Amino acid sequence: MDSLRRFIDCHGRPRYKESVIRFAIRAAALSALLPTTLVAAGCGGSRTAVTTIETVTAPAAASATPKVTTTTSFPQLVSHVESGVVRIEAQSCGGLAIGTGFLVGGNLVATVEHVIDGASMITIKRHGVVLGSARVIGADQPRDLALLKTSSPIIGHVFRLAPRSPQLGEAVAAFGFPLGLPLTVTRGSVSGLDRAIPIDGVTRHRLVQTDAAVNHGNSGGPLLAADTGDVVGLVDLGTTLANGLAFAVSSQVAEPLFRAWTVAPQPSASSACAANPPQAAPAQAPSQASGAKAAIAETVYGYWDSIQQGDYATAFSYLTPPEGAAVGGEATFISQHQADPLTSVDVVVAVTALSSTTATAGVVRLRTIAPRTGCRSWSGSYQLAYEGGQWLISRATLNFTGC
């Protein structure tokens, strides 16, 4: 049986390093037993060691946040757990890869191995704000699982891995950052159980099949039971040729590995690039890196996402100090938005100019709805500056009309 060859994963990093972030999807041949082409959200690295953990009986990594009751509505569940979902940015010699992770302890983040494969630096973010760095304390390429330890504890929802297999037809939800967008939630059901998929000569077993929509960037995100909020799987594989077909690593496969790595960490060495420019400035903007445009767009998306969620202090942090002063300071900025809070935001931007320290992002679509000002359709652009290791909004040149 021919094994599945992975060319591009769910966070957009090609298997064979032609480039780093591109959204072209190339299919690969599967055996006759699996007629649809699958894209691995999971590109493995050079590590081949497999951890044996069957005899480990240590307690779980951390006690989870109290579980959601069966009477909780789905929007309430999302609100309850979203603080525990984080964005992972893995910097390697080839560029920047983006994936998803979730808290299983105060300073423990679960994800899939291919998200952090070959990473020289791992950054954890939430709503566009850097929460800290992380290092790998356990990785298993054949099962495509990894556990990260953050540089400092993260306050947020701690997920529980489901102690049971999901049921066929059970309602589930996938959380992640598809295409580098802010946190996105998609709903679906369990459409298959105990799937075995051959990938790079190794057959992964006990995969959970789902019709919840996943895309590049969802890799490593939690697949939750929609009634309890327990994690039934970690998003791993997606398909390019068939709709409604994706796979996740079963929580029953992941839980004993995470438990073993928590008790006995198995750190992975950080990847070192073969050659580094001898006089490269550490804070220089990655204007030539393929992840720069995604980072710029993420600043704008994070700004509006924070405003929509009522987190105005975080939104203000996306502005440069001069721009913050120009809008009247943080207190004025917050009070203005509190007086007319947004109920809906639909935003898409595209980077139209980019240098080492400045960028322009044109508004492709921006529509806001608020109680007092109503529906507004905006046009114009944002100017951004690279300061302190991140892109910040230095000026907004916007005009609006009624929707």
Token duo for residue 32:
């006759």
- The answer to whether the CB of 358 falls within 8 A of the CB of 388 is no
Tokens standing for residue 285: 């903007």
Q: Which of 137, 95, 384, 87 is nearest to 261 (CA)?
A: 137
Nearest to 368 by CA among 331, 341, 350: 341
Q: What is the value of pTM for the model shown?
A: 0.56
Q: What does the block give as tokens for 36?
A: 């649809």
Listing DSSP states for 284-336 in one string gives ---TTSTTHHHHHHHHHHHHHHHHHTT-HHHHHTTB-HHHHHHTTHHHHHHHH
Q: What's 58's DSSP letter?
A: P
- The separation between the first and the last C-alpha atoms of the chain, rounded to the nearest angstrom, is 56
- Domains belonging to the chain, first-starting first, are 1-272 (2.40.10.120), 292-402 (3.10.450.100)
Longest dimension (CA), the chain: 65
pLDDT tens for the chain, 403 residues: list them.
444 434 334 444 433 333 333 333 333 333 333 433 444 443 333 333 333 333 333 334 344 455 555 556 899 999 999 999 999 999 887 778 889 999 999 899 999 998 998 889 999 999 888 999 999 999 988 889 999 999 999 999 999 999 888 999 999 999 999 887 889 999 999 999 988 877 656 677 889 999 999 888 899 999 999 999 999 999 987 655 567 788 999 999 999 999 999 988 988 766 666 544 443 333 333 334 446 777 787 788 889 878 988 889 989 999 999 999 999 999 999 999 999 999 888 877 788 888 889 999 998 889 899 999 999 999 999 999 999 888 999 999 999 999 8
Structure tokens at 119: 């990473």
Taking the CA atoms of 334, 129, 40 and 105 in sequence, report the sign of the dihedral they define: negative
Q: What is the pLDDT of residues 223-279, one digit of tens each?
A: 999 999 999 999 987 655 567 788 999 999 999 999 999 988 988 766 666 544 443
Cα separation, 272 vs 149, whole angstroms: 20
Torsion of CA 225, 229, 90, 315, to 10 degrees: 130
Contact 128, 136 (CB under 8 A): no
